[in-house]
Structure 1
Amino acid sequence: MKILVIGPSWVGDMMMSHSLYRSLKAQYPDAQIDVMAPAWCRPLLDRMPEIRQALAMPLGHGALALGERRRLGVSLREQGYDRAYVLPNSFKSALVPFFAKVPTRTGWRGEMRYGLLNDVRILDKTAFPLMVQRYVALAYPRDQIHRAEDLPQPLLWPQLQVAQAEIDAVLPAFDLVSERSLIGFCPGAEFGPAKRWPHYHYASLAQTLIERGHQVVLFGSAKDNEAGEAIRDTLPEPLRAFCTNLAGKTSLDQAVVLIAACHAVVSNDSGLMHVAAALNRPLVALYGPSSPDFTPPLSHQANVIRLITGYHRVRKGDGEQGYHQSLIDIQPERVLEALTPYLQTQEHR
């Protein structure tokens, strides 16, 4: 069986989609699974052994580009795909499998995609409260799975593969070879400060960790570099040598390898949080207005801290510097308490 997946366009969603690929491979061990997604996703897909190849989606996130999608679909006809799974809910995301004439095209109804999809699922959000459940449900016949409880248990959570040799090669390139264990911070958030734990809380936690013999590494994209510098600048000057800001200075693949090298990770709700979970790193995940009830970190080593309930659709927080008050209220001492069980074996060597 040959399967085409139209994948998500966000890091966190792409990570959670791995559960679908693992579920498909468990049912159809000989299946060849190709995933079409933005080119930047390839470092993640290359670390998912279930994927035969990553196909670059050349069109921008918001572009309809009907003619180009038709040409792209026609070019895939010779691949002879048997099934397609469309994970985004947009109308345009279903066009390529339709033009590719894939016989069975599965997805949630989304933007009224009858015809484009011929195996349309109607989503009951209360029956599948988690995004990962909605992805995995697509792997099974619609008359078989009616609610999350019907899914095979346990769910096959995302698992990225990183070899020790890769870690050994990357650490020296960023001057991170030291007897001090690495603690990763992921202080960025896609939509600004409302989802970020305040930089001064990160700095307070970093100071304590450095004084206890660790080194701190900050991860993120180029637009997170400023937040990383704010953390470093808040530290006492003598301690800054043990806090490295790599936001915007690594490729995504290098960031994945470096996070795999971390003894533990502290993160806002972000794509890199889901990467850390898929690498099975001990993780403290900090939530504010976004909700772990929909997209929690999928790891048995994840500790979620959140002080409010429900989902709050805000892009700018109500606190100082645009932070959300619920994240301001999470004190560094509480995060350190959650981290400490993961650190004790390292500190007592």
Structure 2
Amino acid sequence: MKDIKGIKRILIRATNWIGDSIMSLPALVETKRNFPEAHISVLLRPWVKPIFESHPCVDEIIVYDKKRDKSRNLLELARIIRMLRNRQFDMAILFQNAFEAALIAFLSDIRIRLGLDTDGRRFLLSHPVKRRTHQHHVENYLDILRGIGIRTRETEPVLYIKDRHISEAEMILKECGIETDEPLIGLAPGAMYGPAKRWPARYFATIGDWAVTRWGAKVIIMGSRKEMDICAHVRALMKEDAINLCGKTDLGVSMGIIKRCNMLVSNDSGLMHIAAALGVATIAIFGSTDPAATGPRGAHFRIIRHDIPCSPCFRRECPYDLQCLYSVTPDQVWKDMEDMWNETSSILGQGWHNK
């Protein structure tokens, strides 16, 4: 297309969710591949910054620190728009599907504005792309580029971590008594979306105990501050020792800790996508959501899901006693863990040292 020639400055609006940010990474790579000379800036919310700040395709991070107070939020919005106008971007690629993302790009006088036709924002986009249902979110983000004639080839997210986050993670685990040659299993029992994505806490506790008694592994429990209750519940239910780091590390350090793990057992969550993108063996348990849309992508993962009539329902809470999750037993998960261990233990080793 003629109007995309001579692109020198590109603004990417990152999504606000950790998992979606990771699923957008192949589209970021394709942007750089097709515009190798362009300067790429990423506009993002503070909590997803570690996903992009070390990526080789990113030249600049711009933090959009939206406030809860409406008057302060308007001031921040005005600041961002004024700054973007001064930068004179040639193109905006909106991975964030909200109306506001398109409005910011429009008011910032960015000539080419690419994004999915969602949230009533079609008139704000120069190149709106119809969102196709029943496909993976990675493909949705790539479709934005395909809408201007770009042929894409990258489909697996790859995550990069700052050295200081690796060092901090190593120090924390050392303080917790975890040696570099000990097998380490991570449990991620939370899911910000809601209870309908969370495998029962007692089931997580069971496989945590088995990892200790059967493999001689150390177990860490991970999650955000909003997931502290569920993580504390898993720890309380465990009979064996485990280290609960939920809410005690920021995202960058959590990424470093996950990279050290031999395996992560997780619900459909941001931490699941982090593990898969880092090449860590990942056991992903699905309930109300659809792995065909949000499943992990990478070299080493297993998806566990029971195909019952009402799943996927995409509800945050379940009116039917969470049969899609309760029917997934610890024995079934353990079997997949053993299979994954046998497949990957000689390949992956211990995190930092063999990746």
Same fold? TM cut 0.5: yes
Structure 1 CA distance for aligned equivalents of residues 189 and 68 of structure 2: 24
Structure 2 CA distance for aligned equivalents of residues 198 and 96 of structure 1: 41
Matched, 1:29 2:36: yes
Higher helix share: 2
Q: In structure 2, what residue type is equivalent to 1:99? A: L
Structure 2 CA distance for aligned equivalents of residues 193 and 114 of structure 1: 33
Structure 1 CA distance for aligned equivalents of residues 235 and 75 of structure 2: 49
Name the counterpart of 2:3: none
TM-score, normalised relative to structure 2: 0.86
Q: 1:330 aligns with which of 328, 335, 338?
A: 328
Judged with a 3 Å threshold, the aligned counterparts in structure 2 of structure 1 residues 230 and 68 are, in CA distance, closer, same or farther, namely closer
After superposition, the C-alpha distances for 1:126-163 in whole angstroms (9 at most, x for unaligned) are 5xx11111101212344x47xxxxx534x332111247
Equivalent runs, 1:127-206 vs 2, <5 Å: 129-142=135-148, 144=149, 152-153=152-153, 155-162=154-161, 167=166, 169-174=168-173, 175-178=176-179, 179-206=181-208
After superposition, the C-alpha distances for 1:196-221 in whole angstroms (9 at most, x for unaligned) are 11111111111111012101111101
- Count of residues in correspondence between the two structures: 332
Matched, 1:222 2:225: yes
8 Å CA contact retained: 1:318, 1:325: no
Structure 1 CA distance for aligned equivalents of residues 277 and 107 of structure 2: 34
Name the counterpart of 2:316: 315
8 Å CA contact retained: 1:9, 1:61: no
8 Å CA contact retained: 2:207, 2:334: yes
| Unaligned ranges ≥5, structure 2 | 1-7, 350-355
Q: In structure 2, what residue type is equivalent to 1:312? A: C
Shift in Å, 1:71: 4.3
| Aligned-partner SS, 2:293 | coil
Judged with a 3 Å threshold, the aligned counterparts in structure 2 of structure 1 residues 107 and 43 are, in CA distance, closer, same or farther, namely same
Identity %: 28
Shift in Å, 1:164: 7.7
TM-score, normalised relative to structure 1: 0.87
8 Å CA contact retained: 1:5, 1:85: yes
Structure 1 CA distance for aligned equivalents of residues 167 and 75 of structure 2: 46
After superposition, the C-alpha distances for 1:67-117 in whole angstroms (9 at most, x for unaligned) are 753442122122121110122232221122112111111112213324421
| Unaligned ranges ≥5, structure 1 | 146-150
Structure 2 CA distance for aligned equivalents of residues 28 and 338 of structure 1: 41
How well do the aligned residues superpose, as a CA RMSD in angstroms? Answer: 2.5
Q: Which deviates further from its counterpart, 307-316 or 4-13?
A: 307-316
Q: In structure 2, what residue type is equivalent to 1:59? A: K
